[in-house]
Amino acid sequence: MDLGLLHSFLSVRVKQPLVVFQSDDWGFDRLGTLDAFNEFQKRSIMALKGGMATKDFLETEEDVSLLREVLTERGVRHLGDNAAVFTCNAVMGNAHWDKIRYGGEGEFVAENVVDSYRRLHGNVDGFHALKDGVSDGSIDLQFHAWVHLQYGAWQKAYNEGDRAVTMGTELGICGVESTWAKTRMGRSNFLAALDWQCKDEGYISMLNAWKRAFLDFESVWGVKPTSFIAPAYIWNKQIERELGALGLQSVQGLPYQLIPIGRGTFKRKYRRMRFNPHGILYTLRNCYFEPGEDYSKDYVAPCLKRMESLIGWGVPVIINTHRFNYMGVFDPDHRSHGLRELNRLLGAIRKQWPDVRFVGTRELTTILSEKSAEI
């Protein structure tokens, strides 16, 4: 049996097909400005490759509005008729490149996510478009990160003269790949923001910053977060426990959690879709839909096939789909492809399961909590 499906099993079954889209990286400044990105690609000995690494610019109003049209119009659903919903997991800040001085004694400095929109786009329309999506029911905003960067490792790499990191700092691009990251962190980049050991210098400061960010989420994004997804699916028990004390109700993830144990090594802990002893629900992503990765592949058919088994078992379908699939700053055709494939998937779901109910992670947690209480 497929391990991912096996670990989706619930002690509580649902009769009506439930479908959740969980999408990461909203508000995240991975690639800076288009000019800076092009300069990095021209000068770097490790040019970025692949859809997520090269298309994932900070969203614009047009990006968000076109996505919401697919979720609520275009022959799929109309406003007010249980529109398809995206759980958009958002960051609270990004690296403040103008103020950061690596190599010194200063603290890491983050800019407010609203300022990131203003700096990169000259306006905050993309930010407001996401908040408007909450109002019409097409967007469920949840907490992803304080910043989507393991800045302690980034600073060390900069101090040691890593060329990619030096250039990334100069141009304002944190989505770089480097040999330093590969040899010291076991990853190609620095985006696993919670890949820290409790003994690491700066760990307590980082932990406190994340707790403040979780508490401040509502003041920035307009809604109180109830769910959390760790960048790169790497986190330890402490951050989960600390956020739980602040009101966290569910943790998003894959069928396994990667717990950092140092120098690029991780303990893999398998999870089931269940409530832990503290009442926090683990929601496991059990379908994969990333059409921007390879235009020649069909991502719809495998997703539907997997859904058949899940729905047959009474398990909610939780689809993993990242922001980059729907971004058009660099390439509008890339965005068009992602939205077209999403529209095709939604249409196929509606046809195969006419009684389907699209919900966000917030609503899914409430539904499963109520069903669990009935047992």
CA distance 304 to 307: 5
Question: What is the pLDDT of the chain when averaged over all its residues?
Answer: 91
Residue 103 above 50 pLDDT?
A: no
The residues spanned by each domain of the chain are 3-374
Instruction: Kindly report the pTM of this predicted structure.
Output: 0.95
Q: At 55, which helix (H) or strand (E)?
A: helix 51-55
pLDDT band of residue 198 (cuts 50, 70, 90) is confident
Residue 346 above 90 pLDDT?
A: yes
Burial of residue 331, with CB atoms counted within 10 A of its CB: 0-12 exposed, 13-18 middle, 19 or more buried: middle
Can you tell me the mean pLDDT for 234-247?
94
Residue 44: what pLDDT?
81
What does the pLDDT look like over 255-278, one tens digit per residue?
Answer: 989 999 987 889 999 888 888 888
pLDDT band of residue 303 (cuts 50, 70, 90) is very high
Residue 75: what pLDDT?
46
| Cα–Cα distance list, 208 to 87, 115, 212, 309 (Å) | 25, 22, 6, 42
What does the pLDDT look like over 2-31, one tens digit per residue?
Answer: 655 656 666 668 899 999 999 999 999 999
Can you tell me the mean pLDDT for 274-302?
94
Residue 224 above 90 pLDDT?
A: yes
Two structure tokens written together for 317: 């379908």
Residue 225: what pLDDT?
98
Residue 165: what pLDDT?
93
Is the CATH code 3.90.1150.10 the one for domain 3-374? Answer: no
Residue 106 above 90 pLDDT?
A: no
Residue 371: what pLDDT?
75
Bridge partners (DSSP) listed for residue 89: 142
What does the pLDDT look like over 123-140, one tens digit per residue?
Answer: 999 999 999 999 989 999
Residue 161: what pLDDT?
92
Two structure tokens written together for 266: 């991780």
Residue 169 above 90 pLDDT?
A: yes
Residue 277: what pLDDT?
85
What does the pLDDT look like over 42-96, one tens digit per residue?
Answer: 998 788 998 899 999 999 999 999 999 999 865 455 556 678 999 999 999 999 9
Q: Judge whether 79 and 85 are in contact, CB under 8 Å.
A: no
CA distance 354 to 270: 33
Residue 6: what pLDDT?
57
Residue 320: what pLDDT?
98
